[in-house]
A and B are shown apart, each in its own frame.
Chain A
Amino acid sequence: MSLAFSERARAEIDRLLARYPTRGAATLPVLRVAEREFGGIDDDVMVLVADTLDLSPAQVRGVFSFYTHLRRPGWGKYVLQVCATLSCALRGCEGLADHLEARLGIRAGQTTPDRRFTLLKVECLARCGESPVLQVNDDMYVNVTPAKADAILESLP
């Protein structure tokens, strides 16, 4: 297997493992490290994580597939998540989603051909009082109008 964690990532993983009585408990944290290290989690990465934690690849695949927030291979540089659950729906998230679909020329769930943006419809982001809500990678934007969404997208490096 050619894939390997960097020295720095290995040190971080060791620090993580020290915080749990079992290696398996570090699965989600190590998947987070892998996500940063490799930009997404594909099958090879899952095998590496399984190896690192003394787990079977099937176990890691099963865990990975359960959680929606981990980066899938092929996702764009920026993952745009629009909350579609009730409180946001009441305050116009559909308009925001329509706007982003039109602007990017893709549907929710798709990635732009240049791999810059992935647009996702997601469930409640726990900012219901400031809807509509848009999460761009780790950054949360609230009360997002189409004009504000444009400004956010244009400000991204």
Chain B
Amino acid sequence: MSTPYEPYLLTADGTADFGALRRYEERGGWAAARRAVTEMTPAEVIGLVKAAGLRGRGGAGFPAGVKWGFVPPPDRVPGPRYLVVNADESEPGTFKDQALLETDPHLTLEGAVIAAYAIGAETIYIYIRGEMPAEARILQEAIHEAYGAGHLGAGLYDTATRMDVTVHRGAGAYICGEETALLTSLEGGRGYPRIKPPFPAFSGLFGQPTIINNVETLANVPAIVNRGVAWFRSMGTEQSPGGKIFSLSGHLKRPGNYEAPLGIGLLTLLHDPRYGAGPWQERPFKAVIPGGSSVPVLRADELDVRMDFESLQAAGTMLGSGGVIAMDESVDMVEVLYNLARFYHHESCGQCTPCREGTGWTARILRRFHENRGREEDLALLLDIADQMMGKTICPLADALAMPVKSHVTKFPDEFRRHMGGEIPRYVPPSSWAVG
């Protein structure tokens, strides 16, 4: 970066309770929605976001403009279109959407209005985690303000466009962050993912064309409309343009959300005093999960990587949601994996056998290790189960455990061998308490 990075996502000061609209408008807020709706065609908005190269910030990294472009024209599929905001943030280690909604609800709302306009939707549903009642209230208040100011409702900006928003609270289920499970849940069912195709862009919510976008993805859109493609592409990398909120947690002096250009060094995020500021108790890092709990873990000697989609893929892991979990040398990787296995077993919806059974088997084998009763053959067994889970299910939840299993077992085999009746060093994570 020749010029210093200027944040455009986390720009609000403090929480957004009352008067959020006035403060947002003072920072130039809602000008992009007005401009998109009154001066641009939907196709132009899609073209702009495509050209900017904005990739989904929820985990998969799919280009947002391309996704919007999948919505078929009304003569092919008639009836309403829906824009669904995925605010069901629940990937362990990720808390960026929570911050965006708490501090600046109008930013996401504005992005959602622009996206809805682009795909021809007049109805927006915001599916927010049940565990975020405060953020749901803040959003509701912001929506009320936006209706009052003419940013939502009928005759939007004196055009024929109409825009309605409904906040829909989830009720505690990680799987509902998966976009098709989210749709099933929004329709009033158990949160079961659906087989694709049909893709939601064709047949989604209530059987109608639907686009689901993550909160942070939408929060990028107003700035792209305001400042253009060249500005957006001046940050980040060729394949991963723009800025990103990185959620830092675990053994850091300054855990928290930090906005930085994509492609920033992981070591910078971990050590720079502006970001993580190094290990909290001066013990060196042992391992770092770079993109939320589902992605392969990196060893201490693998941390010299750039935080963008392509670099992390080349390093054998993923950017995912950008949730960086740092672990120092006091951590026992067996306990880390046991904690994650328990999580995914708890959150498996149970539809697909490889996931329902595989997450349970994995958790039970790891419990054996936790109780210092691991066996040498269990290492191969864990890898075999992970292979049986990868890519064999409707949604990626099975992969989300299989990838950590493979990376933990292959990168830290000696730690597992210490749990075969030998002397186990002191560990940090509390899996013994957490079971049940």
**B residues 89-136 touching A (CB-CB < 8 Å):** 89-95, 97-98, 129-134
Residues of chain A with a CB closer than 8 A to B80's CB: 21
Size band of the interface chain A makes with B = 35 or more
CB-based contact A87/B433 at 8 Å: no
B317 an interface residue at 8 Å Cβ cutoff? no
A26 an interface residue at 8 Å Cβ cutoff? yes
- Given A66-B190, A87-B93, A108:B173 Cβ within 8 A: no
B174 an interface residue at 8 Å Cβ cutoff? yes
Residues of chain A with a CB closer than 8 A to B168's CB: 28-29
CB-based contact B257/A121 at 8 Å: no
Within the assembled complex, what's the spacing in Å between the Cα atoms of A32 and B251?
Answer: 37
Within the assembled complex, what's the spacing in Å between the Cα atoms of A130 and B93?
Answer: 11
- Given A32-B169, A85-B343, A87-B250, A124:B92 Cβ within 8 A: yes
- Given A66-B190, A97-B430, A129:B248 Cβ within 8 A: yes
B407 an interface residue at 8 Å Cβ cutoff? no
Residues of chain B with a CB closer than 8 A to A81's CB: 131
- Given A129-B247, A140-B134, A89:B434 Cβ within 8 A: yes
CB-based contact A90/B249 at 8 Å: yes
Interface centre among A69, A85, A98, A139 (most CB of B within 10 A): A85
Q: Which A residue sits closest to B164, measured CB to CB?
A: A19
A153 an interface residue at 8 Å Cβ cutoff? no
A113 an interface residue at 8 Å Cβ cutoff? no
Residues of chain A with a CB closer than 8 A to B197's CB: none
B256 an interface residue at 8 Å Cβ cutoff? yes
Interface string of A28-65 (1 = CB under 8 A from B): 11011000000000000000000001010000001100
Within the assembled complex, what's the spacing in Å between the Cα atoms of A121 and B431?
Answer: 11
Within the assembled complex, what's the spacing in Å between the Cα atoms of A80 and B433?
Answer: 16
A131 an interface residue at 8 Å Cβ cutoff? yes
CB-based contact A138/B133 at 8 Å: yes
B187 an interface residue at 8 Å Cβ cutoff? yes
- Given A25-B186, A126-B89, A129-B257, A86:B293 Cβ within 8 A: yes
Residues of chain A with a CB closer than 8 A to B347's CB: 123
Within the assembled complex, what's the spacing in Å between the Cα atoms of A20 and B268?
Answer: 47
Residues of chain B with a CB closer than 8 A to A32's CB: 169, 171
CB-based contact B95/A128 at 8 Å: yes
Choose from A66, A89, A122, A138 the contact partner of B429 (Cβ within 8 Å). A89
Q: Which residues of B are in contact with A by a Cβ distance under 8 Å?
A: 80, 89-95, 97-98, 129-134, 164, 166, 168-174, 185-191, 206, 247-251, 255-257, 289, 293, 323, 325, 327, 331, 336, 339-340, 343, 346-347, 349, 428-434, 436
Q: Which residues of A are in contact with B by a Cβ distance under 8 Å?
A: 19-22, 24-29, 31-32, 53, 55, 62-63, 66-70, 81, 84-87, 89-91, 93-94, 97-98, 108-109, 121-131, 135, 138-140
Task: Name 29 interchain pairs, CB-CB below 8 A, sorted by A.
Answer: A22-B187, A27-B188, A28-B171, A28-B188, A63-B188, A67-B171, A68-B173, A70-B130, A81-B131, A85-B293, A86-B93, A86-B325, A86-B339, A86-B343, A87-B325, A89-B429, A90-B249, A90-B327, A91-B255, A94-B432, A108-B436, A123-B90, A123-B92, A124-B343, A126-B89, A127-B98, A128-B325, A129-B95, A129-B249
Beyond A53-B188, A128-B325, 20 extra complex contacts between A and B, CB < 8 Å:
A66-B349, A68-B171, A68-B172, A69-B130, A85-B343, A86-B92, A86-B429, A89-B339, A94-B429, A98-B433, A108-B436, A121-B434, A123-B90, A124-B91, A124-B92, A124-B343, A126-B95, A126-B131, A130-B255, A138-B134
